[in-house]
């Protein structure tokens, strides 16, 4: 079942935890843990909220933050969402091969060295017309040419990634280490090289501002000030890079942003589309942003299997640690019953997770505990499927990429 997200929900049942989480327990009581759930109304609310925040600018869906093809199908059916940002070429080929027109515009957000996938792309005119590779180095072009020489392959669509990190004499480098192309003249030089090389077509530019989109800022004035400065600096630098490249190439798109920076990204006149995905499922990382609060559309439940002490209840499993720097905020967050916390010396474990707190005293063997993952998409790597729940009942099920036997990274 592909959920219909057309209508914006009029109710927000997740606002009342004492009603929402027990209703999910009741709806899924016949399913063995771990149980993954997507609340259909919460997903719809998040999708419409993203559209509101984008203010009419097209949203390209970041598939790594979903990893459920049925959710991608449902979101791409909504006007305002257009195109996919995939995370590997093999994934992009798989989505393209569905033949669905919703997957006729797939941008890969990262460079690839998958020679077998490059060969498949180069041998398939249809796929090559639907998929755009990301580059930031001439060496990546050379690798493609070595796998599939120009003249004997389909034309390869490419986009250039501009490094969106924030650099100042006082703060140094702030952001993630992605593209080596930080300055407009570096982007222009690579664009000129692409245009000189047969078999390539330059169609876009991307710049992902991780220090704005991916850093929580609620109650953190220093972070907010850094982000405001980065927004101003990037708008000028990205604008200059885009203007320079447009002098020599007919760009189809300029992609920017992420769930956490939609407002500032769409205000940049050089950008033509924003990317977002995490805001659809609403992981607990986004509880710490000032501009928006997504509904907890995705969550998972584990069973209590032992009681080592009166104030500790131990779950089977739970060590679904999010990527990024190792810290407490990378761990799943127990949300129901309220008042549970992991033990400082154990945290969330591979096969068991002890939880402590007043609520733990009331838990019994076989009870369910609901948790939210730190980051969207990564939860799908632990589940074969999500149960779709609406109005307190399971209304369908959607397989994850893992459930479809697809593991890309």
**Domains recognised in the chain with CATH numbers:** 13-39+293-404 (2.40.37.20), 87-276 (3.20.20.10)
CB atoms closer than 10 angstroms to residue 21: 22
Show the tokens assigned to 366.
Answer: 């076989």
Angle at 53 between CA 49 and CA 57, to 5 degrees: 115
CA-nearest of 285, 316, 277, 357 to 35 is 316
pTM: 0.94
The answer to whether the beta carbons of residues 138 and 193 sit under 8 Å apart is yes
* Rounded Cα gap, residues 280 and 61, in angstroms: 9
- Which residues, at least 6 apart from 94, have a Cβ–Cβ distance to it below 8 Å? 406
CA-nearest of 385, 383, 382 to 396 is 385
C-alpha dist (Å) from residue 5 to 47, 61, 193, 205, 353 = 8, 15, 44, 30, 35
- Which residues, at least 6 apart from 96, have a Cβ–Cβ distance to it below 8 Å? 103, 104, 106, 126, 127, 130, 131
CA-nearest of 254, 50, 244, 287 to 132 is 254
* Rounded Cα gap, residues 381 and 406, in angstroms: 10
CA-nearest of 137, 8, 38, 56 to 372 is 38
- Which residues, at least 6 apart from 166, have a Cβ–Cβ distance to it below 8 Å? 173, 174, 175, 211, 226, 229, 230, 233, 234
- Signed CA dihedral, 4, 5, 8, 13: sign only: positive
Show the tokens assigned to 25.
Answer: 């327990």
For 159, counting Cβ atoms within 10 Å of its Cβ (0-12 exposed, 13-18 middle, 19+ buried), the class is: buried
Per-residue confidence in pLDDT tens, the chain, 409 aa? 899 999 999 999 999 999 999 999 999 999 999 999 999 999 999 999 999 999 999 999 999 999 999 999 999 999 999 999 999 999 999 999 988 899 999 999 999 999 999 999 999 999 999 999 999 999 999 999 999 999 999 999 999 999 999 998 888 888 889 999 999 999 999 999 999 999 999 999 999 988 887 777 787 888 888 888 888 999 999 999 999 999 999 999 999 988 989 999 999 999 999 999 999 999 998 887 887 889 999 999 999 999 999 999 999 999 999 888 877 888 999 999 999 999 999 999 999 999 999 999 999 999 999 999 999 999 999 999 999 999 999 999 999 999 999 999 8
């Amino acid at each position: 079942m592909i959920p219909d997200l057309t209508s914006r929900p009029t109710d927000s049942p997740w606002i009342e935890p004492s009603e929402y989480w027990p209703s999910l327990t009741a709806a899924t009581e016949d399913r063995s843990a771990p149980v993954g759930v997507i609340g259909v109304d919460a997903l719809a609310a998040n999708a419409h909220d993203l559209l509101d925040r984008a203010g009419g600018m097209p949203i390209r869906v970041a598939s790594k933050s979903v990893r459920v093809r049925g959710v991608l199908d449902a979101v791409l059916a909504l006007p305002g969402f257009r195109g996919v940002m995939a995370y590997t070429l093999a994934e992009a080929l798989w989505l393209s091969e569905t033949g669905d027109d919703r997957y006729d515009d797939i941008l890969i957000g990262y460079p690839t060295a998958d020679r077998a996938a490059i060969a498949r792309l180069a041998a398939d005119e249809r796929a090559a017309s639907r998929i755009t590779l990301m580059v930031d180095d001439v060496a990546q072009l050379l690798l493609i040419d070595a796998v599939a020489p120009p003249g004997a392959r389909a034309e390869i669509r490419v986009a250039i990634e501009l490094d969106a990190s924030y650099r100042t004499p006082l703060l140094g480098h702030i952001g993630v280490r992605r593209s080596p192309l930080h300055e407009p003249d570096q982007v222009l030089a690579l664009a000129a090289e692409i245009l000189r090389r047969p078999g390539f077509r330059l169609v876009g530019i991307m710049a992902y501002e991780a220090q704005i989109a991916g850093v929580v800022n609620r109650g953190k004035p220093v972070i907010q000030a850094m982000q405001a400065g980065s927004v101003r600096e990037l708008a000028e630098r990205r604008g200059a890079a885009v203007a320079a490249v447009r002098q020599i190439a007919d760009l189809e798109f300029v992609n920017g942003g992420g769930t956490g920076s939609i407002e500032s990204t769409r205000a940049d006149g050089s950008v033509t589309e924003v990317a977002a995905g995490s805001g659809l499922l609403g992981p607990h990382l986004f509880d710490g942003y000032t501009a928006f609060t997504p509904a907890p559309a995705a969550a998972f439940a584990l069973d209590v299997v032992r009681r080592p002490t009166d104030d500790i209840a131990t779950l089977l499993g739970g060590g679904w640690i999010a990527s990024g720097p190792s810290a407490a905020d990378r761990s799943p967050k127990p949300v129901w019953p309220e008042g549970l916390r992991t033990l400082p010396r154990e945290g969330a474990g591979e096969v068991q997770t002890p939880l402590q707190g007043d609520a733990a005293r009331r838990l019994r063997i076989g009870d369910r505990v609901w948790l939210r993952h730190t980051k969207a998409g990564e939860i799908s790597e632990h589940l074969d499927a999500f149960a779709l729940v609406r109005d307190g009942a399971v209304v369908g099920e959607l397989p994850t990429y893992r459930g479809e036997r697809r593991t890309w990274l």
